[in-house]
Structure 1
Amino acid sequence: MTKQFKILTVCTGNVCRSPQAEILLKDALPAEEIYVASAGTQALVGSHMPAMAQEAIGKANSDQHVGRQLTPEMIERSDLILGMAREHRRAVVELCPRARKRTFTLRELAMLVEVTPDRYVAEALNASPDAREKMISAIEAVRLSKNLLTTSLADEDLDIIDPYGATRDVYNTSYHQVAKATAAVASLLQRAAE
């Protein structure tokens, strides 16, 4: 059995954005090859997702999630860390500087996936027969494509809106940002897992 590729999604309280990303990635990716977890930089430890976050994602199992605090050990064990905003990416790197090259905001990685030429990804996938190594190589190929972003991004383009304590519309907007970005990331990792 090959070692699983491990993804960690991170937000502030670990009750809205990062658990939604976790659930969507788990649904889209093969569990035998990819492990997905989430945590918060200021987690509401033991708390469940708010009702509007559960409604937005529409998953029956979303009420089983409980918030947990981000630790350096979680970061060390992860092959890919996806912060929901720049502040989460920064917090991860401050806790574990060695994680810099495998830490992105979710929207940042999704944008990089979209601009990376297929041939770069194909070359990365051909580099190893092992699924986990293929995924690591694919993420690195995408990271190195950062210079292909032709439009300058506003800082807010890299962040998922924080819905906590906001209106239903904000929860829905936030969820749609999470869903769109996770779909792009999942498509990359699905190719590597084939």
Structure 2
Amino acid sequence: MENNFSVLMVCTGNICRSPFAEYLLVNLVQDIKRVNVSSAGTNAMVGERMSPETQTIAESYGVQNFESHRARQLSEEILGASDLILTMTRRQRRRVVELEPRVTRRVFTLREFARLVAATTDEMLASDLAEVSFEGKQPFRAAVQSIALSRSQLSSISDPAEDEVVDPYGHSLEVHQASAQQLVPAVNTLAKFLMRVSSETVT
């Protein structure tokens, strides 16, 4: 397990956005044996299940096996063990860096990471992985480093909110649906990225 690539989803309470993103990604990358996915909250409602509204939304997207989810509080230890950290907002991203500065180069908002991935061609990815060991998590970590470096090469977005997923907690089912419509495409892009990296390392 220690040699698997660890993806951590982060939101506030760890009962809506981050567990939804976690279990959706788990469903999408279940065939990649070297990837683990988990979630945590910056102000977690520790021990709570996924919210009823989020469960409804998750089921509508075919997400399964989320009944065992229990919210947990983000910690330095959890961050230190994570290879890719994806937050739902820029504020949460700042909180992660404040809590554990050593993860700065591997923390992004979820939608920011998807935007950067979309700008990475197969040729660029293959080139970045050409000199990397194919063992365990190494190719995935190298790919994330490559994405991090591309931040400076991509034009800034005009509206920072485009890099965030709206918080649906305490709101109507319609707001939960709107939140999901921001989150799901980004998770799909992430899943395709992880599959691309995995396919590049198959010998």
Task: Quickly name the TM-score band, shorter chain normalised.
Answer: over 0.9
Moved more, 45-54 or 95-104: 45-54
* CA distance in structure 1 between the partners assigned to 2:131 and 2:179 by the alignment: 36
2:7 matched residue in structure 1: 7
* 2:117–2:190 contact (8 Å) kept in structure 1: yes
Structural mapping, 1:107-122, within 5 Å: 107-122=111-126
* 1:12–1:42 contact (8 Å) kept in structure 2: yes
Matched, 1:85 2:86: no
From 164, 173, 197, give the equivalent of 1:168: 173
TM-score between the two structures when normalised by the length of structure 2? 0.90
Moved more, 14-23 or 50-59: 50-59
- Paired letter, 2:70: V
Partner deviation per Cα, 1:96-141 (whole Å, 9 max, x = no partner): 0010000000000000001123222111222222241111111111
1:42 matched residue in structure 2: 43
* 1:12–1:40 contact (8 Å) kept in structure 2: yes
RMSD of the alignment, in Å? 1.6
- Paired letter, 1:51: P
Partner deviation per Cα, 1:7-44 (whole Å, 9 max, x = no partner): 11100000000001110111122452111110000000
* 2:27–2:64 contact (8 Å) kept in structure 1: no
> 1:66 deviation in Å?
1.1
Q: Which runs of 5+ in 1 are unaligned?
A: none
* CA distance in structure 2 between the partners assigned to 1:2 and 1:166 by the alignment: 38
Moved more, 149-158 or 162-171: 149-158
Structural mapping, 1:34-183, within 5 Å: 34-58=35-59, 59-128=63-132, 129-150=134-155, 152-183=157-188
**Cα 1:185–1:68, aligned 2, differ >3 Å: closer, same or farther?**
same
> 1:73 deviation in Å?
0.1
Partner deviation per Cα, 1:139-177 (whole Å, 9 max, x = no partner): 111221223433534111111000001111110111121
TM-score between the two structures when normalised by the length of structure 1? 0.94
**Percentage of matched positions with identical amino acids:** 39
- Secondary structure, counterpart of 1:108 in structure 2: helix
* 2:5–2:36 contact (8 Å) kept in structure 1: yes
* CA distance in structure 2 between the partners assigned to 1:48 and 1:87 by the alignment: 24
> 1:2 deviation in Å?
7.8
1:21 matched residue in structure 2: 21
- Paired letter, 1:57: A
- Secondary structure, counterpart of 1:193 in structure 2: helix
* CA distance in structure 2 between the partners assigned to 1:61 and 1:176 by the alignment: 21
Give structure 1 regions of 4+ aligned residues with deviation exceeding 6 angstroms. Answer: none
Q: How many residues align?
A: 194
* CA distance in structure 2 between the partners assigned to 1:185 and 1:71 by the alignment: 24
Moved more, 167-176 or 117-126: 117-126
